[in-house]
Structure 1
Amino acid sequence: MSYSVKLNGITKKYKMHRQNSDKLKDIILPGGYGEDFYAIRDLTFEAGKGDVVGIIGVNGSGKSTFSNLVANITPPTSGEIDVKGDVSLIAVSAGLNKELTGRENIELKLLMMGYKKNKIEEMKPDIIEFADIGKFIDMPVKKYSSGMKSRLGFSISISVDPDVLIVDEALSVGDKTFADKCLVKMNEFKERGKTIFFVSHSNGQMKKFCNKALWLEHGTIREYGPMKEVMPHYEAFIKEYKSWSKEEKRRFREEGTKKQEGLATAESASSEEKEKRKKSWILF
């Protein structure tokens, strides 16, 4: 199977600034200013045509950063990303201008994607019908609920028929009826060999819809493979995590923060620590 999305050694580093003046220092001073924070570190993986990849991981693991990198919203600090075809990111209010109406946002987004005025007029009725937000289509987006923003964003994104679709928590808001309608549409994409990345806190949706899972932890890949193999490992980890004491959870978060701040890396861990961690998961 040929790949449609390929990441090779992707790292995304940010500078942590405590106050606005630090941002100016970061620009002026040689080598920058502020602590490094690695939202994503050294990611290498491929997704093929027809793959539906569930992106899993606890909060702060790098899921949204991953989505923005593949969608080319933010550039990587280092490494290469190769995406074959057009990409569309669906996230709550992503790319919507809150001062414009829903109808105006449809026109603006499609114009920015290169569509001509006559084609936009042709596409608009189907987008409005799918969004199904009634009279709110002619009201400013700033008056929308998060569910309405999700409906409009999803409707616009699927209308452009992308080769790679990224759904980042867009189905976590709003009603179940609309979520089910979206899943039906995504299944149509799946049958047509599109590549889909699905970010959701609903493990049930993941297992029902995705055939692969990418488990991110502290900005690195913990596991990648078939959903039926990876998800049981992740669910076992979550069950274990919930049983930890506050102190154990604090240590886990601190360890991750150190890695993402560059104070420690997976590569710098001792062989004894790596083997201990490996053994702790060998039963799953």
Structure 2
Amino acid sequence: MGKSVIVSHVSKKYKMFKSNSEKILDLLLPKGYGPSFYALQDISFDANDGDVVGIIGVNGSGKSTLSNIIAGVIPPTEGTVTVNGEAALIAIQSGLKGELTGRENIELKCLMLGFNKKEIKELTPRIIEFADIGDFIEQPVKTYSSGMRSRLGFAISIHIDPDILVIDEALSVGDQTFADKCLKKMNEFKEKGKTIFFISHSIGQMKRFCEKALWVQYGQVQDYGLMKDVMPKYEQFIRDYKKMSEEERRAFQEKVRMRRMSPV
């Protein structure tokens, strides 16, 4: 079993500017200007062919930033990511052009991935059927609901048959029937030995579908291993956090915030 994704000491840092003048100073000064915020700090893990990894963590922990880095949408500030194969990101807004119709978005995405006109003509009806958004396929994507955008994005990504699938909250909108259809398709990918990263607020979906869990806690890896071993620890953290007083929560959040800040 080979390594499909290797993430080594990855960090992602963003500048915290209060004004345009601070942006200019940051460009002009040799060492930059102003504080930075670490969305991710020194993240390292690897995934094998056929792994289904649930990325868990509270809001603001960097899960979406990590999914975008794995998929090659954004680069890391530090560290390296090795992806052995073609990766596709499925997120509610990912890669869809609002001014174009659903059909035009299908054609554009396939062209960008190197499909020829004949292949696109064959794929398009299957994608449209899976998305199941009716006449909206001929309307601009900017008129779509979040559920329809998710349906179209998911349909396009699974039909281009990537080696690595990164799903970021794409099943959190829309109806249960569509979510079940997506999970069935993802199981087909799993059976083919493809690697899947799955982000969802639904712990039930995570437990049902994922074999491994990567717990990202405020920009750092808290734990990584089998779902049955990691998820109980995460659930215990959530229970403990909910029991904190407002003062204890503020102190905890401030401690976390200071850890993720850098003077430059």
TM superposition score category, shorter chain reference:
over 0.9
Helix, strand or coil: the match of 2:213? strand
Aligned equivalents of 1:54 and 1:130: distance in 2? 24
Deviation at 1:3, TM superposition (A): 1.1
Aligned equivalents of 1:224 and 1:167: distance in 2? 18
Matched letter for residue 180 of structure 1: D
| Cα deviation 1:153-174 (Å, max 9, x = unaligned) | 0000001101100000000001
| TM-score (norm. length: structure 2) | 0.97
- Give the 4+ runs in structure 1 shifted more than 3 A: none
| Cα deviation 1:37-92 (Å, max 9, x = unaligned) | 11111111111111100000001101001001101111111111111000000000
Deviation at 1:19, TM superposition (A): 2.0
CA contact (8 A) 1:71 1:89 kept: yes
Aligned equivalents of 2:221 and 2:38: distance in 1? 13
CA contact (8 A) 1:51 1:196 kept: yes
| Cα deviation 1:9-52 (Å, max 9, x = unaligned) | 11111111112332222222212222111111111111111110
Aligned equivalents of 1:211 and 1:97: distance in 2? 34
Helix, strand or coil: the match of 1:225? strand
> What is aligned with 1:13?
13
> What is aligned with 2:235?
235
Matched letter for residue 140 of structure 1: P
| Cα deviation 1:235-272 (Å, max 9, x = unaligned) | 11111111111111111211111111137xxxxxxxxx
**For residues 102-141 of structure 1, what are the structure 2 equivalents within 5 Å?**
102-141=102-141
Deviation at 1:209, TM superposition (A): 0.1
Aligned equivalents of 2:10 and 2:261: distance in 1? 16
Tell me the percent identity: 62
> What is aligned with 2:99?
99
Q: Give me the CA root mean square deviation.
A: 1.0
Runs of 5+ consecutive residues of structure 2 not aligned to the other structure: none
CA contact (8 A) 1:218 1:259 kept: no
Deviation at 1:97, TM superposition (A): 0.6
Aligned equivalents of 2:12 and 2:124: distance in 1? 36
Matched letter for residue 124 of structure 2: K
Aligned equivalents of 1:19 and 1:146: distance in 2? 32
Greater displacement, 112-121 / 61-70: 112-121
Greater displacement, 178-187 / 244-253: 244-253
CA contact (8 A) 1:16 1:36 kept: yes
Aligned equivalents of 2:73 and 2:24: distance in 1? 23
> What is aligned with 1:274?
none
> What is aligned with 2:144?
144
**Which one scores higher on RCO, CA 8 angstroms, separation ≥ 6?**
2
Matched letter for residue 91 of structure 2: A
Matched letter for residue 39 of structure 2: A
Matched letter for residue 111 of structure 1: L
| TM-score (norm. length: structure 1) | 0.91
**For residues 52-91 of structure 1, what are the structure 2 equivalents within 5 Å?**
52-91=52-91
Runs of 5+ consecutive residues of structure 1 not aligned to the other structure: 264-284
Pair 1:28 & 2:38 matched: no
> What is aligned with 1:251?
251
